Amino acid sequence: MNVLWVLAHPEQQSLNGSLFDEGLRALNEAGDAYLVSDLYAMKWKATVDRGDFTDEPDERLIVTAASRRAHLDGTLSADIRAEQEKLDWADAVVLQFPLWWYGMPAILKGWFDRVFVKGFAYGVTDGDSGRSLRYGEGRLAGKRALVVVTAGSPEAALGLRGINGQLDHVLFPLLHGTLWYAGMSVLPPVAVYGADRVTQQQYESATARLRDRVTSIRGTEPIPFRYQNGGEYDDALVLRPELAAGSTGLEVHYAAERRHGSRRSRNEVQASSR
């Protein structure tokens, strides 16, 4: 298996740095190939600007149109093209970051903004039907994505009734709105809680869990998000009224067995990260 590991943490001598080393060691021992994008070490430019599209004329910049043209023409900036080549090579992507202000660090958001351009990660259509290929379909379909996240919050505070909200809800924009949108099969994330207060025992437990998860990427059951083009959404991209009748919110976008199953099933993402 070919794995691209994207790390977004500024300090190598941190918990994230140690987890990163353990994860790569596990892949190496398992005989898996990997490439690394250590965004802070690369001094990755996080902001989209005209320089991303090297042949773009000097007129009003429409980012979606410019990025699509540059992608098709091969004129995206070299750093973007290098990351896209890594993604093309990879069977799976590991995205590792600390949870800052309920989201990923700006440098990782900028990686998505610049690399997941129109025509590459979205804006792809089926040649026969003309329908948009997204939410489970598209150019990145067939690839797997695993998020590894550290949080300063205690586990309970990111739980079912925790003040910080459920972890799977907090990560929904990334898991569903970015990775699944681009067609990738999204695995339940690995979470390390209380990151600033991890004991040696907790660290050993976390590294053992991480090693197990990164070496079982191929066999892990993905989160059961609904497909856009599976007939469950109408032409306005609204879930059909007979599905999850009377319910609203993020949970309606998971398959019925997750929503109506046991307590453990409904909280699959969080439980799988323990």
Measured between alpha carbons, how far is 245 from 260 in angstroms, rounded to an integer? Answer: 12
Do 238 and 208 form a contact (C-beta atoms < 8 A)? no
Which tokens sit at 202?
């907790």
- The radius of gyration of the chain from alpha carbons, rounded to an integer in Å, stands at 19
Q: DSSP assignment, residue 261?
A: S
Nearest C-alpha neighbor of 122 from the set 168, 58, 64, 60: 64
Note the pTM of the prediction, 2 decimals: 0.89
- Superfamily name and number for 2-223: Flavodoxin domain (3.40.50.360)
Q: In 10 A of CB 252, how many CB atoms?
A: 16
Residues listed for the chain: 274
- CB-count burial class (<10 Å; 0-12, 13-18, 19+) for 220: middle
From first to last of its 274 residues, the chain has per-residue pLDDT tens of: 999 999 999 988 899 999 999 999 999 999 999 999 999 999 999 999 999 998 777 788 999 999 999 999 999 999 999 999 999 999 999 999 999 999 999 999 999 999 999 999 999 888 788 889 999 999 999 999 999 999 999 889 999 999 998 999 999 999 999 999 999 999 999 999 998 898 899 999 999 999 999 999 999 999 999 999 989 999 999 999 999 888 889 999 998 655 444 333 333 333 333 3
Q: DSSP assignment, residue 222?
A: P
Per domain, the residue ranges of the chain are 2-223
- Amino acid type, 4: L
